[in-house]
Amino acid sequence: MIERLKESGGAAFGFRVLGKLTDEELKAFEPQLEFFIAQRKKHPIGILADLTEMRGTEWKACWEDMRFLQKHTDHIARMAVVGAHGWDALAAMITSGAAILQSETRYFDSSEIQHAWQWARTAKYAEELPVREISPATGIWKNYRPEFMDV
């Protein structure tokens, strides 16, 4: 199940994933995010994805997520990923999210959710927290060059 977080508003949209994420749930939730993006017109938003209670993802949901985020890459400036249990949930989020490739993405522990909201809204970061950058704003593939390109 996906639920919109009540703190959403202004320049940031937040949601929480509970249990295993399915493509049906993702498709049903997309209109809420699309409406939020449309309200901001051409101003990019921050996204807060609370994965604290997420228990996995169907591959079809990953594909749907990639399709949706790729469509809205220009509208997403930054993404705060909160409380993913282990690297498997975080890896699923990264590999399925094309928007992550062009937006700055940071990881926050579930105890740091207020800081995650602040960063998603303003891109300002509390100095006492460690910076856990998943992807720089330039994208993880910027300046990528295959090893054997000249062979």
Q: Which of 50, 101, 112 has the alpha carbon at shortest distance from 78?
A: 101
Both tokens of residue 68? Answer: 């949706």
Q: Which residues are CB-neighbours of 20 under 8 A, at least 6 positions away?
A: 54, 55, 56, 57, 58
Mean pLDDT of 15-43: 91
> Where in 18-75 does DSSP place strands (E)?
19-21, 45-50, 54-57
Question: What 3 state SS string does 65-107 have?
Answer: HHHHHHHCHHHEEEEEEECCCHHHHHHHHHHHCHHHHCCEEEE
pTM: 0.79
Partners of residue 17 on adjacent β-strands: 2
Question: In this predicted model, what pLDDT tens digit does every residue of 87-139 receive, in sequence order?
Answer: 555 555 555 554 555 778 888 889 999 999 999 998 776 667 766 776 666 55
Helical (H) or strand (E) element with 15: strand 12-17
